[in-house]
């Protein structure tokens, strides 16, 4: 815990909250700047192609998103001595940075990196359910399973649930973003949502 000023757990929550909220806002702005964009038929990453005016907003936001997650992951390890979850968050954050750097015109790098981010992001949300108290643990399991199931259906079986390719892709991402907002808000309000990996860790 940071003894001066805002405690470390609150910083972790703030970073997750800012990362997710700024990404959602930037996504809305980028969609508005992409002529004829359709959330059902267009992939999210279509916004990052430099031929469109949406690219700077989307790519910059995606990189910021990844950087904030990496910082939050490091602070998580410092605060609670978690090991696997921070590594997974950091790798997912690095993958998000990669998505912002290598847009979908860069094949196959973009698709490999994006799939890695989708899978790892939803897996770590599920994993965090084992480290959180109810009801946040239930939220983690539910959102992570929804996101991961949709990734498997959409990429493995080409099922789009009548939502279109873009609509289905949003179900890979939105559960992660929703969890980050909820988790970030909970941490900013109280540290009691988290269980320590080692006895006495919360006392720090």
pLDDT in tens, 154-174: 999 999 999 999 999 999 999
Kindly report whether the global pTM for this prediction surpasses the value 0.85.
yes
- Tell whether the model's pLDDT for residue 62 goes beyond 50: yes
* Banded pLDDT at 68 (limits 50, 70, 90): very high
User: CA 10, CA 104: separation in Å to the nearest integer?
Assistant: 35
Closest CA to 43 of 148, 118, 120, 142: 118
**Which residues, in sequence order, are bridge partners of residue 132?**
194
**Domain boundaries, position 149:** 8-189
Closest CA to 127 of 165, 183, 174: 183
- Kindly state the percentage of the chain with pLDDT values over 90: 87
pLDDT of 192 reads 65
Q: Is 127 part of a structural domain of the chain?
A: yes
Q: Is 156 part of a structural domain of the chain?
A: yes
Q: Is 202 part of a structural domain of the chain?
A: no
Q: Is 74 part of a structural domain of the chain?
A: yes
- Tell whether the model's pLDDT for residue 1 goes beyond 60: no
Q: Identify the burial level of 63 via C-beta atoms within 10 angstroms of its C-beta, where 0-12 means exposed, 13-18 middle and 19 or more buried.
A: middle
* Banded pLDDT at 191 (limits 50, 70, 90): low
- Tell whether the model's pLDDT for residue 189 goes beyond 80: yes
* Banded pLDDT at 180 (limits 50, 70, 90): very high
* 3-state helix vs strand vs coil in the chain, percent to 5: 70, 0, 30
* Banded pLDDT at 4 (limits 50, 70, 90): low
* Number of domains the chain contains: 1
pLDDT of 12 reads 96
Q: How confident is the model over 130-155, as a mean pLDDT? A: 97
Q: Is 198 part of a structural domain of the chain?
A: no
Contact in structure between 12 and 74 (CB atoms under 8 Å): no
* Banded pLDDT at 5 (limits 50, 70, 90): confident
* Banded pLDDT at 6 (limits 50, 70, 90): confident
Contact in structure between 179 and 140 (CB atoms under 8 Å): yes
- 116: Cβ contacts below 8 Å, ≥ 6 apart: 91, 92, 95
């Amino acid at each position: 815990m940071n003894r001066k000023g805002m405690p470390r757990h609150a910083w972790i929550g703030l970073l997750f909250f800012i990362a997710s909220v700024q990404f959602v806002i930037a996504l809305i702005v980028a969609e508005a700047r992409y002529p004829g964009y359709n959330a059902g038929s267009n992939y999210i990453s279509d916004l990052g192609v430099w031929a469109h005016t949406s690219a700077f907003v989307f790519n910059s936001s995606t990189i910021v998103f990844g950087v904030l997650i990496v910082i939050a992951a490091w602070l998580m390890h410092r605060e609670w001595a978690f090991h696997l979850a921070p590594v997974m968050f950091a790798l997912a954050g690095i993958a998000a940075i990669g998505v912002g750097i290598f847009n979908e015109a860069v094949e196959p790098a973009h698709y490999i990196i994006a799939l890695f981010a989708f899978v790892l992001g939803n897996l770590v949300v599920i994993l965090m359910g084992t480290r959180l108290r109810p009801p946040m643990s239930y939220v983690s399991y539910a959102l992570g399973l929804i996101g991961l199931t949709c990734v498997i259906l959409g990429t493995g079986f080409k099922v789009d649930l009548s939502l279109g390719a873009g609509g289905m892709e949003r179900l890979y991402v939105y559960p992660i973003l929703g969890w980050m907002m909820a988790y970030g808000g909970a941490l900013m309000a109280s540290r009691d949502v988290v269980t320590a990996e080692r006895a006495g860790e919360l006392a720090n």
